[in-house]
Structure 1
């Protein structure tokens, strides 16, 4: 198996004897989001005054502008060729793990005595340089049987690196086809190893060790009690091994998952939101102008006669089946339009903006589209706006910082949903009923429009 690596930033000789490293590769729908997450994590380490180099092991397919950005932020980038994944054809293989085997390149960083290898979804609360005192391999068990590869300590070794490449080339058993399955099989006896305790004299240990849980605190522990109370070692690092679309950098992850706001606070203090704010400002201005114009039009024509949608009812003999489908589409179309009022603004908001900004623009955009929808379909205002009020309400309920624990919070959200359901049902019925009224009046209005014409023709004959 042929692999290659090189330093992407010329002259980037090691400044420290140890390093924090992560990997970055392309080919997933969320490449940019992970790029942002890596930048935030690296800057967080720098703010905690890590006495180590910051390294990104990047595939050669990573855009050069991203590499330049990382270099400007003090991160050393090591370019590598992607390691072919022999497990991609196995049942249940997830394509987003295609190049996670690149993680073993960490063993090739032999300029360093120790390397702490990280996933991008780690959030550091304190300095963790004591990890560099650990042995040849150290990892944390957040699962009773398998250690987690989101953070582990290693001693670089070309011999170990080449041996791992042979394991991959031979396609030995790997339960997930990714780095997790590879490393848990390679260090299969780690569960039997002693727990790591940093030597007080600052010396480095030899051998394999288990890391205390405080170095990989699963975010789900927090959601149960809404506070940290992990007695195993220092509470230093939070990890988010959750559903990919609920990673903390996505604006919609908060207030669904409360810790998302903590991650964005770290981003605010590090790289900021300079690239997204102009986009959000433009969207907000567009929504305000659109809503204002729509309200002006509604007020100007509110006193004029409403012109119903044209149909064949009462004017010509149409087949019953055609009438049925026409009425069905006409009644469902405003409901679909109301749903789209929330979907459309959602997809144009940059994915990694601050949650408060993201939700604010979503509510503004959906309100603007709802006003337009009410005007176009001549819908009653309060039923049309009920879903908007419901969403705003549930955001407030989820975001309130008054809950003792996650169970109380879940009960509060469930109670709100139970109480809100009848109002949503009422709103749906009112919207559909407003279309029924239009159909009931339309034949009479059609007849009324035809009668003067018939009278005029009779007068001409006379």
Structure 2
């Protein structure tokens, strides 16, 4: 009887395991049997590894959302954390291909940027020989619509967002071990590479692409042979948008936005908006796909901490009595100067520290709200400890809030008007900020002279050196 019960139990466990396997297969069925792939790469060794991991996941989710008819592939270096690989495979439906890092012999070049030392891993895209065509992507691409017609392009196709240099943030290739081995050989013998990264090497490997015809997908769905230039609509540089605050790309479908600017102004950073308005579109994609559950616990903890600081500093506000005696010697002057410097330093750090504590990839509206809350809370330490009026200390806080509102205004006719408005706002705010700093300094001086910040610490027996105030 006992054995029969165990048999039934094992049978139920086996059934549950089978059901779970079926669910996983159904979840990833969209990518089985495809002859083409969208691929990207992931490697470790930069201060922004996690941010690019999040960006990669958002891009993969957005590709799934628009229903691409292709596999999703991530070329990961062998040191990528296992939990990240599992998330990419099990939650995002991607196929992860683990490769060792390619050696970059260009890292000794004078103009070499260390953050590009592993970008030659992008050459592994040519090893994906299970596919007829691969669209290789950087993580800072935002897809507006399906681009499966790119799989009809030839052996190599790329976009010229620069008049003379094509961009390797998105390109089409036909996988080939012969081409890959030749590329690795060219790397080893030191083929010319202007920037030491994938951009310079691939540009050098395909030097004649500018002279090739423009790609137009055949209506019958056949794959082309050869090399082609892709229309600009497949890699719309966000800079084009900021000039007019709207898209004006007449050539080709307006399908993909890319953000090739400064590394610290990528769209997933909360501070990038409203400096760069398109960042909110990237975060809208993330909200609809990946969400923000990873960052929310830290946001909640910081919010509670800041609210606690505000409450504690207000309750602990010293009720200081007037000094009955003031000692007129150099030691008091030195202490007052030191306290004044500490107070000013507290005010400055109140506006700096919250910026670095906020999770980098949180939604901009939440990030800026948390920053303003943190700056207000930390400013209250100096306000309550040194009995400074609140308004002068918060003038920079109000100025930052006003700057955000001016930059986020959606009714500007173009980017030039927006820039002029921001400049005019800063111009008129500068005297107010300076006046507030002068006011804070004068209030500190009065407070330190008249309030008991050093109650009895310097008192000794009365001597002729003491001057009675009252």
Q: Same fold (TM over 0.5)?
A: yes
Matches within 5 A, 1:389-400: 389-400=398-409
The aligned counterpart of 2:370 is 361
Contact residue 140 and residue 152 of structure 1 kept, 8 A: yes
Pick one of 26, 36, 49 that aligns with 1:18: 36
Contact residue 387 and residue 447 of structure 2 kept, 8 A: no
Task: Output the CA distance in 1 between the equivalents of 2:83 and 2:64.
Answer: 21
Seen in structure 2, the aligned counterparts of structure 1 residues 174 and 307 have a Cα distance that, compared at 3 Å, is farther
**1:277, CA displacement in angstroms?**
1.1
Counterpart secondary structure, 1:55: strand
The aligned counterpart of 1:259 is 278
The aligned counterpart of 2:196 is 177
Seen in structure 2, the aligned counterparts of structure 1 residues 317 and 214 have a Cα distance that, compared at 3 Å, is closer
Contact residue 406 and residue 421 of structure 2 kept, 8 A: yes
Contact residue 322 and residue 450 of structure 2 kept, 8 A: no
Contact residue 332 and residue 432 of structure 1 kept, 8 A: no
Pick one of 403, 406, 422 that aligns with 2:431: 422
The aligned counterpart of 2:47 is 29
Contact residue 307 and residue 377 of structure 2 kept, 8 A: yes
**1:314, CA displacement in angstroms?**
3.8
Contact residue 363 and residue 388 of structure 1 kept, 8 A: yes
Task: Output the CA distance in 2 between the equivalents of 1:407 and 1:105.
Answer: 42
Pick one of 147, 158, 165 that aligns with 2:184: 165
Pick one of 188, 203, 224 that aligns with 1:205: 224
Task: Output the CA distance in 2 between the equivalents of 1:452 and 1:328.
Answer: 25
Seen in structure 2, the aligned counterparts of structure 1 residues 54 and 306 have a Cα distance that, compared at 3 Å, is farther
The aligned counterpart of 2:416 is 407
The aligned counterpart of 1:54 is 72
**1:332, CA displacement in angstroms?**
3.1
The aligned counterpart of 1:231 is 250
The aligned counterpart of 2:342 is 333
Cα offsets for 1:287-342 (capped at 9, x unmatched): 112212222333xx45x42679x9xx844456xxx95x655544333222111112
Consecutive unaligned residues in structure 1, runs of 5 or more:
1-8, 456-462
The aligned counterpart of 1:89 is 108
Contact residue 138 and residue 154 of structure 1 kept, 8 A: yes
**1:393, CA displacement in angstroms?**
1.0
Contact residue 43 and residue 118 of structure 2 kept, 8 A: yes
Pick which of 328-337 and 393-402 moved more.
328-337
Residues 1:305 and 2:321 are matched in the alignment: yes
Consecutive unaligned residues in structure 2, runs of 5 or more:
1-23, 465-470
Task: Output the CA distance in 2 between the equivalents of 1:220 and 1:167.
Answer: 34
Matches within 5 A, 1:263-282: 263-282=282-301
Cα offsets for 1:245-296 (capped at 9, x unmatched): 1100000100111011000000001110011112111111121122122223
Cα offsets for 1:219-239 (capped at 9, x unmatched): 010111111110010000000
Counterpart secondary structure, 2:97: strand
**1:356, CA displacement in angstroms?**
0.6
Task: Output the CA distance in 2 between the equivalents of 1:418 and 1:359.
Answer: 22
Contact residue 136 and residue 207 of structure 1 kept, 8 A: yes
Pick one of 104, 125, 132 that aligns with 1:106: 125
Contact residue 322 and residue 451 of structure 2 kept, 8 A: no
The aligned counterpart of 1:6 is none
Residues 1:130 and 2:149 are matched in the alignment: yes
Task: Output the CA distance in 2 between the equivalents of 1:192 and 1:45.
Answer: 31
Seen in structure 2, the aligned counterparts of structure 1 residues 372 and 95 have a Cα distance that, compared at 3 Å, is same
Task: Output the CA distance in 2 between the equivalents of 1:389 and 1:195.
Answer: 51
Residues 1:65 and 2:74 are matched in the alignment: no
Seen in structure 2, the aligned counterparts of structure 1 residues 243 and 306 have a Cα distance that, compared at 3 Å, is farther
Pick one of 182, 187, 190 that aligns with 2:209: 190
Contact residue 134 and residue 153 of structure 1 kept, 8 A: yes
Contact residue 19 and residue 55 of structure 1 kept, 8 A: yes
**1:451, CA displacement in angstroms?**
10
Task: Output the CA distance in 2 between the equivalents of 1:426 and 1:130.
Answer: 60
Count of matched residue positions in the alignment of Structure 1 and Structure 2: 435
Contact residue 258 and residue 399 of structure 1 kept, 8 A: yes
Contact residue 313 and residue 385 of structure 2 kept, 8 A: no
Seen in structure 2, the aligned counterparts of structure 1 residues 328 and 297 have a Cα distance that, compared at 3 Å, is closer
Scaled by the length of structure 1, what TM-score is found? Answer: 0.89
Contact residue 270 and residue 367 of structure 2 kept, 8 A: yes
Scaled by the length of structure 2, what TM-score is found? Answer: 0.88
Counterpart secondary structure, 2:268: coil
Contact residue 26 and residue 61 of structure 1 kept, 8 A: yes
Cα offsets for 1:106-161 (capped at 9, x unmatched): 01101000000000000000000000000000000001110000000000111100
**1:381, CA displacement in angstroms?**
1.4
